A and B are shown apart, each in its own frame.
Chain A
Amino acid sequence: MDRDADVRVADFKEVDLGLSREEAVAEAKRCIQCKKPKCISGCPVGIDIPAFIQAIADEKFQDAVYIIKKDNMLPAVCGRVCPQETQGQGVCVLGIKDTPIAIGQLERFVADIERKKGAKCPKCAPATGKNVVVVGSGPAGLACAAELARRGHSVTIFESLHEAGGVLMYGIPAFRIPKDIVQYEINQVKKLGVEIETNHIVGRSVSVEELLGFNAVFLGTGAGLPYFMGIQGENLPGVYSANEFLTRVNLMGANKFPEYDTPVKVGKKVVVVGGGNVAMDAARVARRMGADVTLMYRRGEADMPARLDEVRHAKEEGVFFMTATNPIAILGENNTVSGVKAITMELGTTGDDGRCSFYPIEGSEFVVETDVVIEAIGQGPNPLLLRMLPELTRNRNGSVAVNCLGETSIPKVYAGGDVATGAATVILAMGTAKEAAVAIDKMLRT
C-alpha cells in the first residue's frame, strides 16, 4: 500500500508500506501451486517461489524466509526493487486472465517480519581453506560473497566507498529502500563470515599482485561511470550526472544540509534527462527537495526502461513528463544554468529491441527554463579496475567479456553484474553473480 503522494513527497520515508499479515496470507492463498511453475524460471536467482508462497499461505513465515534465503540473501531489498512485471510475476499464469501473484510484495513481507524478530543465520559448509576476493560490495558482490561463504570459502570484499552496498546505498533513494534495511541485510552477509574492507580501491589501494594472490577473484564493480551528452553548456555549475546528484543526497545526506556538510544545488526548477530507473530516482529526489521537475525523454513513455511502479510513482508525485524531446544545449547566464534548449522528436517504428526509432523534427527547437539539469542517460563500467587489468577482454560496449560461467579472459578471474552485462537491474546482477559463484566453487574444488 502506497502512502499518499502529497504526504510522501515531503519526506524520504518509504513510499510503499507493504502488505498486512491478512493481505499477505490472502494473496499467498491465490497461488494455484502450478505443477510446472513458470515463475521460478522468471526469477534470475531461481527462488522456489511456489514453496515460499505456500509457506506464507500456511502462515509459516520463518519457513518462507529460509526457502528464499537458500537462493537470495537480500530478500527485503529484492522484494522492493526487482522489476517483477518482467520477472516471476510477469510469467505467472494467473496474469493471463487475472492479476498475477504479487511475488515481490510477498518476498518483502516475510523478509520484513524476519528482520523485526531478528534473523537467524543460515549454516555455512565446512571451511575449505580457499580464499576468494570480491571487488565491489553492490548487489553482485554481495550475492557472490554470500554464496561462496555458504559453500565454506573465506571471502573478502574490497569496497572503494566508505559504505558497503554499491547502488543500494548511493543510487537508490531511501523512499524506495530504507538504508537501515540495506545495512541489515549486508550484516546478514557479514554474519556468514564475509569480511568487507571499505575505502579499498582496487587498482589503487590494492595492487594486481595482491588481487591475484587470492585463490579466485570476482569482479562486481558495476557500471558507475556516468555518460554525459556531449552538448554545449554541460560544464556549467548546476549540471549534474545523476550519479553525482544521487550520491550527494543518498550517501552524503545533502538533503539535510547544513546539518550534513555536503551541499547540493536543486533550485526551483529541475530538468532530468532520461527514462530509466535512475532518471525516476533523480526526479523524485528533486521533487522531495522542493523543485518543479520536468523529465525529458527522447522516446515515448512506453519505451521507458524504468519499472512501471517508478513511472507511476513519479507521476503521482507531480513529475512532469516531456517525452519525444531531447536536449541539444544547456543555456547559462552568469555562470549558472538558465535553461535547456530542446528539440522535439518524431517517433518511428519499433525495432527488434522493442523500442522505437526517433528523429529530430527540424525547426521544433524550444527552451525550457531551469536552474538545474540532471543527466541520467546511462553509465559505463567503472574505469579504475579495468585500467589496472588491461589484458581483460572487453565487449564492444566496454563491459567485461564473460562466458556462461562468468569466466573472464584472465584465469581464475570472474565477473558478474553490471560490469559484465552493462547497466541492468539489481536482481540480474545478483543472478549473474550467483552463477559465477557456483562456477568459482566448482573450480576451487577441482
Chain B
Amino acid sequence: MGKYTIVQARALSEAVFEMWIHAPQVARHAKAGQFCIIHADGAGERVPLTISATKGDDIRIAFMAVGTTTKLLATLKTGDELRDVAGPLGMPSDIAEGSETVIIVGGGVGVACTPILAQAAKDAGNYVIGIIGARNRELLIFEDDMRAICDELYVTTDDGSYGIKGFASGPLKDLCESGRKIDKVWIIGPGMMMKVTCEVTRPFGIKTYVSLNPVMVDGTGMCGSCRVTVGGEMKFACVDGPEFDAHEVDWNDLMTRQRMYLSEEKQSMEYRDEHHVCRCRKVE
C-alpha cells in the first residue's frame, strides 16, 4: 500500500462522497475539530477538508463534488492514491471534561465534521445533543453515526422530505427556549448557515463555536490566505482556528473573501470540461 492510498471510497448521495484514506501521521494525531490538506495530484491545488473520523492509520473525509478538485476526488476509487495528505491541522475543539450539555449542529456537508466532535464530547463525559440538517433527504449524511453517538438527535430537511421541516436553527431555538441548561453549541456548515444559526444562541448568552472555512493554501500559518476578523483582530483560521467564537466573527469579511475566486473556479471547470483531461490515478 502506498503512502496515501484510498482504502475505501463511496458515494453517500448523488453529490456527497466519503473517503477513508491511509495517512498514519494524520490519523494517529488527529483530534475533533482539526482538518487535513489534500493535494490530489501534481497539477492539483491544496484543499482543506475536515477530518470526520479516524480509525488506526486511516482518516475519513467527506465532501460535496462542487468544483474542480472535489469533482476530481469524486472520480477516485478504492485503491487509488493521493499525492499528498498533510495534517492534522488547526486547533482541536475546545471540549471540556465533565458534565456539560453541548449541542452540535451540522448543516449540509458540514454534518461530515459532527461525528468526531460528538464522539469526543461524549467520551469526555458530556451530554450531547445533535442537530443535523440538509436540503432534502437525499443529501442528508451520517445520520446513523450521529444517532449512535448522541444522547438526543434532531434531523431537519429544508423541504420536509425527512425529519423536521425547516432549518437546523428551528430545533436549536426550541432547545434554547426550553430553559434547559446548555453550556456550549457548535455550528458547522456553509457560511450563511453558520452566520444565521449563531444568532439563535446570541440572546441566550450561550458560548457558541463555528468552524470557519476560508480559502487556504498551505494550512500551516505561512501565507494568511485564510485570515479572518474575529473580535476585531486578524486571525489565521488554519493555526488560530478553524473554530472561533461565533458571536465575534466578521461574517461579511469571511464571505467576501470566500467568493474571491468565483470566476476562476468557473474558468477552471470549463477548462476541464473542454479538455476532457482524465486525471484519475495520475500521480506525479
Q: Interface on A for B, CB 8 Å cutoff?
A: 160-162, 197-201, 204-207, 224-226, 228, 230, 234-238, 240-241, 243-244, 247-248, 252-253, 257-263, 265, 335, 382-384
Contacts and interface: CB of A to CB of B under 8 A. Distances in A.
B86 A201 contact: yes
A244 B256 contact: no
B222 A224 contact: yes
Interface in B239-284: 239, 253, 256-257, 259-261, 264-265, 267-268, 270-272
A241 B86 CA distance: 22
A265 B221 CA distance: 20
B260 A247 contact: no
B87 A205 contact: yes
A31 to B, nearest CB: 41
Contacts of B268: 257-258, 261, 263
Interface residues of B, number: 43
- Report which residue of B26, B85, B218 has the largest number of chain A beta carbons within 10 angstroms of its beta carbon: B218
B86 A383 contact: no
B39 interface: yes
Given A200-B25, A204-B88, 19 more contacts: A160-B220, A200-B86, A201-B89, A201-B220, A204-B89, A205-B25, A205-B87, A224-B220, A226-B224, A228-B224, A235-B257, A238-B260, A252-B45, A252-B46, A257-B268, A258-B272, A260-B43, A263-B264, A382-B220
Contact of B86 (A205, A225, A263): A205
> Which label, helix, strand, loop or mixed, suits the secondary structure of the B interface?
mixed
A257 B68 CA distance: 12
B234 A228 contact: yes
A264 B83 CA distance: 22
Contact of A161 (B43, B218, B253, B272): B218
A204 B224 contact: no
A160 B272 CA distance: 29
Contacts of A383: 221, 239
Nearest to A238: B260
- Report which residue of B225, B229, B271 has the largest number of chain A beta carbons within 10 angstroms of its beta carbon: B225
A384 B239 contact: yes
Contact of B253 (A226, A235, A240, A252): A235
Contacts of A207: 29
Given A244-B223, A261-B68, A201 B267 contact: no
A244 to B, nearest CB: 4
A261 B217 contact: no
A207 B265 CA distance: 36
Interface string B84-108: 1111110000000000000000000
B84 A247 contact: no
Given A237-B256, A257-B268, A261-B69, A226 B222 contact: yes
Nearest to A200: B25
A417 to B, nearest CB: 15
B60 interface: no
A23 to B, nearest CB: 37
Contact of A261 (B45, B220, B234): B45
Contacts of B267: 257-258, 263
Interface string B103-134: 00000000000000000000000000000000
Contacts of A237: 256-257, 259-260
Contacts of B224: 226, 228, 241, 243-244
Given A204-B88, A205-B87, A237-B260, A382 B222 contact: yes
B189 to A, nearest CB: 22
A224 B110 CA distance: 31
B45 to A, nearest CB: 4
B195 interface: no
A198 B259 CA distance: 31
Nearest to A334: B256
B86 A199 contact: yes
A160 B256 contact: no
> Which label, helix, strand, loop or mixed, suits the secondary structure of the A interface?
loop
B73 to A, nearest CB: 12
A257 B239 CA distance: 27
A263 B88 contact: no
Given A205-B86, A205-B87, A252-B45, A384 B217 contact: no
Nearest to B26: A205
Contacts of B256: 235-237, 335
Nearest to B256: A335
Nearest to A161: B218
Contacts of B234: 228, 230, 234-235
Nearest to B25: A205
B46 to A, nearest CB: 7
26 contacts: A161-B86, A200-B86, A201-B220, A204-B34, A204-B87, A204-B89, A205-B29, A224-B222, A226-B224, A237-B256, A237-B259, A241-B223, A243-B222, A243-B224, A244-B225, A252-B46, A257-B264, A259-B43, A259-B271, A261-B43, A261-B69, A262-B217, A263-B264, A263-B268, A384-B221, A384-B239
Nearest to B240: A383
B222 A261 contact: no
B39 to A, nearest CB: 5
B94 to A, nearest CB: 15
A438 B43 CA distance: 40
B84 A198 contact: yes
Contact of B83 (A160, A162, A257): A162
- Report which residue of B45, B68, B85 has the largest number of chain A beta carbons within 10 angstroms of its beta carbon: B45
B261 A244 contact: no
A160 B87 CA distance: 9
Interface in B188-235: 217-218, 220-225, 227, 229, 234
Q: Which 10 A/B pairs are nearest by Cβ-Cβ distance?
A: A263-B264, A244-B223, A224-B222, A237-B260, A258-B271, A261-B45, A199-B86, A205-B25, A162-B84, A262-B45
